Structure 1
Amino acid sequence: MKQDVFPSQHTGTKKQSRRSLKTGLAVMLSVSFALGLFLTQRDQEGVPSSGNVMKRHWNSGGFEEVFSKLGPYSPYADRTDSSASYDLPSGCEVSQVTILQRHGARYPTKKANVVIQTALTKLANLTASQLPSEFKFLDGYTFFGFEVDALTDFGRKEAYDAGKVAGERYQKLAKKSNLWTRSSDEARVVESGRQFIQGFNSAPFFIGNVSALPNVDVKISEEDGFVNPLSPSTCEAENVLDPNPGDVAEEDWLSVYAPPIAKRLNAVLPGANLSNTDINSLMSLCGFDSLRNVTLSKSPWCDAFTAKEWKMNEYYFDVSKYYAHGHGAPFGAINGASYIDEVVARLLDTDQVVQAGVTNLSLISPAGGERVFADFSHDNAMVEILTNLPFLTDKTPLPTTPSTESIPSHKFVVSEIVPFSGRFAFERITCTATKYRNNNKKTKTSVFVRTLVNNAIQTTHKYWDGLVPIEAFLKSVKFAQEGGDWAKCAVAAK
């Protein structure tokens, strides 16, 4: 039965929840068998034969570079920075997975579209004779004929393809119990979930008649004040921040990198008088215009800016989300803690979830088990969730006004973390043997957690293959498991 009405409060207390988590962990660890071997053989079960879970949607040639510099407007592509193997040690298998996925490519939001149209209006009166060769496309150019906020056909295909790949990768697990899905209740997010299910079931891809697609199991309201771990909005202290640190950061960097670009364009586009904000809006059209159709077609806007300018554009989104929702945000980890706690409860096969502010809805979801879970969300929420994990962290905060000649190397790159249809996966790996060599050390656990970001296995120096003993994983998300400091949301707001 599909549900879209939800309880607003979990009935279990935090003390009861923690006791249940400990009990679940004890039960899991008790399944270990004392074998005196180190496991060195590899099991190919459930591993994609290609060795790569998902291929890039776009060419690996001429315009790969620009599409990887569009921040959250980048098309999906696998990360390629992990050397860890998908193969599992012999005797180990994926016994559960939670997939968290952003919606597919969309058209601009209503607010963003207003700013885009304002910039285009400044260019509308330029005649063909006034346009240099690289801007001849502006003669008669318009950006209309779409529904703001809605998925593009390319985005629909991204979601479908993600589901198809997940269905193939986890087919053995999917045979044990039905796929269970949950979505934040925004139309583009829900439709992405439905397309994912269609692909997961290996049913044909089609566009139109959304009602004919399978529905998600649970939709969670995004109304103001409604508790929603997939789209947190009830941290009052964050809601009254003025200005928001993310807005400050993006304005700081915009004031550094955009003026030279505006000067260059205004010099060749007489009378345009483009502002810094106009530059940002026009650059966004490379993604929005290219990702409209099922088959990607590069917009002429992509060639209107240089490689150096695209790199600066990419950094704009990095500092914006870093300070609005990531490690530089005062409430980023707090907002993401509740979802992490739900993942932990699933891993431990319990319906008792530690409360961390954004009240969970676990009473209407299966209590873990051998199952594929898939949740559908937004980029901002996913960044907040990632902030609770020990991966892709930078040692120092991202500077907001670096030289345009020396943008620092950093791990928090939005286009590589939450592009359109970006996804995280939390795999529970269960082994029938209890001694496994990890970085030349023995461990007696039989349960591991492996985290993937855009299909790249996340590793640490200690856990070089990404197989983290479940006890160590729980320690790594201690902040969320201790409640996520939600009190800060109320105290700071007074």
Structure 2
Amino acid sequence: MFVAGYRAGGYIWESLYADKPPKIERYWAQYTPYEPAGAYVPPAKHCRVTQVRLLQRHGARYPSSDDPVEMEEAIFKLQQADEYRDKNLRFIRNHSYFLGQDDLVPLGAEQSFQSGVITFERYKDLVNKDDIPFVRASGQGRVVDSARNWTAGFATASHFEYEPHISVVISEENNTLQINQCPAAPSHHPYTERWEHIFTPPIKKRLNKAAPGANLTDSNVISLMALCPLESVALSAAEWEESRFCKLFDEKEWRAFEWHEDVKKYYKTGYGNPLGPVQGVGYVNELLARLTNQPVRDSTNTNRTLDAAPATFPLNRTIYADFTHENEMVAVFGALGLFEQPGDLDPTRIGGKHRTWNARRMVPFSARMVVEKVVCEEGEGEGQEYVRVFVNDEMQPLAFCGEGDGRCTLGDFVQSQGYARESGRGDWEKCFESD
């Protein structure tokens, strides 16, 4: 899927719908269309960025392969209702399921294109004819298409002076850009199901009363709620179009849905899973290799053949761009020590509104983590190299290796990554233990 990023008047620099965001969009967790979580902070006056590492999620997509059957079942049940006592349900009688499966939607292609534009504009001083971005993608179609659209955006913003291409597409196995390589990792289902059985029954009761004869289940409610964001991003191209499923639920119910998805990410590859962060260790060790210009040292899920070859894992580039899935990004955050929580997320009640674990801010569609290497040329620390980390343009404090001001010396940052440098301290081996 490719969508050109031009419109009358120039590039689209911000979120496509920043002027009129849907009210409930903030509760869509990982299904939220990309928008910055913060304002990018340039380096200090006498400092400059010398290297950039981008890790980006694919753009907005159709439902993944295991969702359509459940979604169509929920729609079918509502269509069998004897009557509709809520006018917002009436459209369902003649509604046909129209979504594709797995692939990018036009909005998702545009999100990736715009990320390429922004990367060029922000870091164009790092690029020359002999040093253009090195791009990798995990092998699934929507990830490869996102990488392709990013390269198109970068080339377009440079007026085609620099045209990066995808250098490496990595199969979905033995891959630091994909999970599903830790078979013994516990499931998130006990936690998400616990919350599901708390928050969905009142919704189910309300909808079954409004559509007698539908006989919806708890899981049907989840499917109907997920249809709202997934239909919306599929319908939206030149302007925002909200799915009619969105109006079936009120704001309180959407808050509960958001918590369901936050809990899922936390217990799938986040801190709530004892074998979650270890699935991000390989990528962190690749990051450390880039930052220090040293070969990759890792015994987890790195592809040793690719990482040992300069053609497929060079160490002499200034911009690296990797494209992946949100669950792998969550694992990387955990391996790095970002978004740490004072305690586990409670699957029986919604967390405080000021919580730091929030999928919408962490891994929306087209989410991106940028790791910068910075050198300062004057004043205290002259000649010193530093590391800064941004997630969706929000600077991370990096309290684990500095003073919490978002900047660590390169040496301190490397030292702080002991969990990765020690290949997960035995956790990777546990991925293959049987009961």
Distance (whole Å) between structure 1 residues aligned to residue 263 and residue 354 of structure 2? 13
Aligned counterpart, 1:468:
408
Gaps of 5+ in 1: 1-52, 206-212, 437-443
1:257 aligned residue (164, 179, 199): 199
Distance (whole Å) between structure 2 residues aligned to residue 54 and residue 365 of structure 1? 31
User: Does the Cα contact within 8 Å between 1:73 and 1:415 map onto a contact in 2?
Assistant: yes
Aligned counterpart, 1:133:
87
2:345 aligned residue (387, 392, 398): 398
Shift of 1:393: 1.4
Alignment of 1:70-469 (within 5 A): 70-80=28-38, 86-126=41-81, 130-144=84-98, 146-175=99-128, 177-202=131-156, 215-222=165-172, 226-238=173-185, 241=186, 244=187, 246-292=188-234, 293-295=236-238, 296-350=240-294, 352-360=295-303, 361-362=306-307, 363=309, 364-402=311-349, 409-433=354-378, 435-436=380-381, 446-460=384-398, 462-469=402-409
Distance (whole Å) between structure 2 residues aligned to residue 227 and residue 372 of structure 1? 24
Residues 315-341 of structure 1: per-residue CA shift (max 9 Å, x gap)? 001111111110011211111001000
Shift of 1:126: 4.3
Letter in 2 for 1:357: T
2:419 aligned residue (461, 479, 482): 479
Secondary structure of 1:394's aligned partner: coil
Distance 1:407 1:354, change over 3 A: same
Letter in 2 for 1:481: R
Letter in 2 for 1:291: V
Aligned counterpart, 1:28:
none
Distance (whole Å) between structure 1 residues aligned to residue 100 and residue 432 of structure 2? 40
TM-score, scaled relative to structure 2: 0.88
Distance (whole Å) between structure 2 residues aligned to residue 184 and residue 490 of structure 1? 21
Distance 1:487 1:287, change over 3 A: closer
Shift of 1:147: 2.8
Aligned counterpart, 2:3:
none
Secondary structure of 1:291's aligned partner: helix
Shift of 1:134: 2.1
Shift of 1:110: 2.0
TM-score, scaled relative to structure 1: 0.78
Secondary structure of 2:156's aligned partner: coil
Distance 1:57 1:464, change over 3 A: farther
Distance (whole Å) between structure 2 residues aligned to residue 192 and residue 412 of structure 1? 25
Distance 1:433 1:335, change over 3 A: same
Secondary structure of 1:420's aligned partner: coil
Q: CA RMSD in A?
A: 2.4
Larger Rg: 1
Residues 169-194 of structure 1: per-residue CA shift (max 9 Å, x gap)? 11111226111100000000000000
Shift of 1:348: 0.8
Shift of 1:54: 5.9
User: Does the Cα contact within 8 Å between 1:266 and 1:273 map onto a contact in 2?
Assistant: yes
Distance 1:366 1:407, change over 3 A: closer
Q: Percent identity?
A: 30
Distance (whole Å) between structure 2 residues aligned to residue 425 and residue 215 of structure 1? 19
Letter in 2 for 1:188: R
Distance (whole Å) between structure 2 residues aligned to residue 60 and residue 472 of structure 1? 41
Distance (whole Å) between structure 2 residues aligned to residue 253 and residue 54 of structure 1? 38
Distance (whole Å) between structure 2 residues aligned to residue 158 and residue 481 of structure 1? 33
Aligned counterpart, 1:11:
none
User: Does the Cα contact within 8 Å between 2:375 and 2:383 map onto a contact in 1?
Assistant: no
Distance (whole Å) between structure 1 residues aligned to residue 352 and residue 195 of structure 2? 11
Distance (whole Å) between structure 1 residues aligned to residue 200 and residue 356 of structure 2? 23
Shift of 1:376: 0.3
Distance (whole Å) between structure 2 residues aligned to residue 407 and residue 282 of structure 1? 26
Distance (whole Å) between structure 1 residues aligned to residue 21 and residue 363 of structure 2? 23
Between the two proteins, the alignment pairs up a number of residues equal to 411
Aligned counterpart, 2:14:
55
Residues 181-240 of structure 1: per-residue CA shift (max 9 Å, x gap)? 0000000000000000000111699xxxxxxx9741100001xxx3100013332422xx
Distance 1:346 1:417, change over 3 A: same
Letter in 2 for 1:253: W
User: Does the Cα contact within 8 Å between 1:433 and 1:446 map onto a contact in 2?
Assistant: no
Distance (whole Å) between structure 1 residues aligned to residue 140 and residue 157 of structure 2? 24
Larger displacement relative to structure 2 (191-200 or 363-372):
363-372
Distance (whole Å) between structure 2 residues aligned to residue 475 and residue 196 of structure 1? 32
Distance 1:107 1:395, change over 3 A: same
Secondary structure of 1:172's aligned partner: helix
Distance (whole Å) between structure 1 residues aligned to residue 19 and residue 225 of structure 2? 21
Residues 404-460 of structure 1: per-residue CA shift (max 9 Å, x gap)? 6x7675211111111110110111111223614xxxxxxx76101110001111115
Letter in 1 for 2:433: A
Distance 1:200 1:247, change over 3 A: same
Distance 1:67 1:204, change over 3 A: farther
Letter in 1 for 2:64: T
Letter in 2 for 1:113: P
